[in-house]
Amino acid sequence: MKSNKLLWLMALMLMLSLVLAACAGDGEPEEDGSGDEGTSEDGSDEGSDEGEDTEGDSEEGSEGDAAASDNTLIINIPSDAVSLSTQGSNDVPSSNVAENIYETLTVQNENMEIEPGLAEDWEQVDDTTWEFYLREGVMFHDGTELTAEVVKANFDRLVDEEVASPRAFLFEAVESVEVVDDYTVSITTAYPYAPLLANLAHNGLGIMSQDIIEEDYAAMEEGDDPDSYINQNPVGTGPFKFESWTPGDKVVLSSNQEYWGEAPQIDGVEFQVIPETGARIANLETGAAHVADALGPDDVSRVDNTEGMSVLTQDSVSLSYVGFNVQKEPFDQKEVRQAVSMAIDPSQIVEGIYNGMGIPATGPLAPPVFGYDDSIEPLQYNLEEAQALLEEAGLGDGFETTIWTNDNPQRMDAAEYIQSALGEINIDVEIEVLEWGAYLERTANGEHDMFVLGWSTVTADADYGMYPLFHSSAVGAPGNRSFLENEELDALLEEGRRETDPEARQEIYSEAQEMLVDIAPMLYLHHQEYLLGVSDNVEGFSVDPTGIYQIKDVTIN
């Protein structure tokens, strides 16, 4: 009898533990993330963030699955994708998924050098005309073939004003795309355009199946938003195929065993949304995940000192910054922007919040990016000069304002430091923390005063690192969330993309960076290091300087 009671008690405890585990499992899915809300600003702010807005980290959310599949790579990420269309967003979380579904005509290697992608070769016919020769026999996941007609359909959709893609600026210099034959595409630019090959490697120019493009247009005619069909049915030529997307929870991809190149050795990938850093690390420790993205600087020792895992670090081409909405009072005055910039000591943020990881930024471009100029002198920390500039602007007694951030621990800490620092010159700052999708949407609409964000210069070219952030045509979702409109700067940025001589281009971008010191549309904080925790069971996983995961060659032991 005692034995039966003991068995019954153990069974009851087991059932109770299962119920509790279910209650503590994945949370309720968030609203559909299919809307057009993003950037990262790799880039981060990818960014953080491809030139994309990079999102960083957040604090609340669901737990991961109980255990990682034997041959499915489980990646815990802080924020969900915004769109699964190559043309639907400009943020790093979306790009990390899209990178594995879709492919581009050209690619960049680990040194950011251009190599063949879906185009096995190309030729510059004259100053403004390029011909791209597609690989033959490449098939989409739906069984249709990659042809020049499909490529043209993609690029025509990218610049369609009804679609209103935030990545259309990548093709702004292109005048026409023509089909030469089944496997040859001709691209004509309005002027000699130096960044063309790098832009074609951007996953915003990833090639989608023509069938889903046509289905999406049909859905738009029925009243749906652009990308609504594509977000539910993404089809590319990449090494992984779409299986499912539960917004706010996870995106699941399976291996494409009919891939035109070497097929993946893993069964698939799950991008699990785990907003809280500690939960991501705990999943790595228990084996519920293979990769934990977006570690904080304070988490490095915990991961490195835990058996079976290590920290993966990667220098980036990203920028962390504090932006001002230059079209809202009082930030419409240059003196106010300069004063705020001079009242904040970026070294306090880099050393005190990021533990010295990354390098201080003196401008928008990271050292590996073409156009970077180490001779540029930024505004220096100087409280007395900051106060004098406020007096000059008629705001010597200070003013009230807000600073926005997403729920990234380091960005929230930076906002608190900025709140304290600006209090020294009588500026009263209220901090507002927004969810990532809402943050991108509302800053794109210009509802903010100050904001903390990132940008990832994914092409490693100054055109991408500056044009989307500062040109008047890119105001809002493409990247210019400072709402800067300056004709002289516009002219320089336009000249920089037209000039093909590297030395002349460098002079143009140096002049533009000097001008930005005076205009002061943002305070440049630092160029971050990407920090990820990776299980020792995983081989072949890496992240490139733009913040994009390299998954195709992964094996799991």
Residue 300 is assigned to a structural domain of this protein: no
Kindly state whether residues 375 and 522 are assigned to the same domain.
yes
* pLDDT for the residue 469: 96
* pLDDT for the residue 2: 37
* Domain end marker among 188, 212, 236: 212
Residue 282 predicted with pLDDT over 80: yes
Kindly state the average pLDDT of the residues 453-469: 92
Question: pLDDT per residue over 168-187, tens digit each?
Answer: 989 999 999 999 999 999 99
Kindly state the average pLDDT of the residues 101-127: 94
Residue 297 predicted with pLDDT over 90: no
* Count of the separate structural domains present in the chain: 2
Structural domain containing residue 129: 106-212
Residue 7 is assigned to a structural domain of this protein: no
Among 27-41, 157-171, 179-193, 468-482, the range scoring the smallest mean pLDDT is 27-41
Residue 119 is assigned to a structural domain of this protein: yes
* Domain end marker among 212, 243, 272: 212
Closest by alpha carbon to 408, among 489, 308, 492, 528? 528
Question: pLDDT per residue over 507-519, tens digit each?
Answer: 999 999 999 999 9
Residue 223 is assigned to a structural domain of this protein: no
* Domain end marker among 171, 192, 212: 212
Confidence of residue 35 (pLDDT cuts 50, 70, 90): very low
Residue 334 is assigned to a structural domain of this protein: yes
* pLDDT for the residue 528: 85
Residue 7 predicted with pLDDT over 60: no
Residue 245 is assigned to a structural domain of this protein: no
pLDDT over 90 percentage in the chain: 75
Query: Does residue 44 contact residue 52 with C-beta atoms inside 8 Å?
Result: yes
CATH of the domain at 173: 3.90.76.10
* pLDDT for the residue 456: 87
The residues facing 215 across adjacent strands are none
* pLDDT for the residue 109: 85
Kindly state the average pLDDT of the residues 21-50: 36
Residue 11 predicted with pLDDT over 50: no
* pLDDT for the residue 194: 87
Write down the mean pLDDT value for the chain: 88
Residue 38 predicted with pLDDT over 70: no
Encode 78-117 in three state secondary structure.
CCCCCCCCCCCCCCHHHHHHHHHHCCCCEEECCCCCEEEC
Give 489-544 as a DSSP string: HHHHHHHHHH---HHHHHHHHHHHHHHHHHH--EEEEEEPEEEEEEETTEES-EE-
Query: Does residue 455 contact residue 321 with C-beta atoms inside 8 Å?
Result: yes
Question: pLDDT per residue over 366-384, tens digit each?
Answer: 998 999 999 999 999 999 9
Buried-state track 381-396, b at ≥16 Cβ within 10 A, e below 16 = beeeebbebbeebebe
Residue 147 is assigned to a structural domain of this protein: yes
DSSP H/E element including 340: helix 334-343
Confidence of residue 59 (pLDDT cuts 50, 70, 90): very low
Kindly state whether residues 349 and 491 are assigned to the same domain.
yes
Kindly state whether residues 205 and 333 are assigned to the same domain.
no
Residue 12 predicted with pLDDT over 60: no
Kindly state whether residues 192 and 337 are assigned to the same domain.
no
Residue 56 predicted with pLDDT over 60: no
Residue 395 is assigned to a structural domain of this protein: yes
CATH of the domain at 383: 3.10.105.10
Query: Does residue 148 contact residue 179 with C-beta atoms inside 8 Å?
Result: yes
Confidence of residue 546 (pLDDT cuts 50, 70, 90): confident
Kindly state the average pLDDT of the residues 307-311: 96
* pLDDT for the residue 182: 98
pTM: 0.76
Closest by alpha carbon to 341, among 323, 315, 355, 364? 323
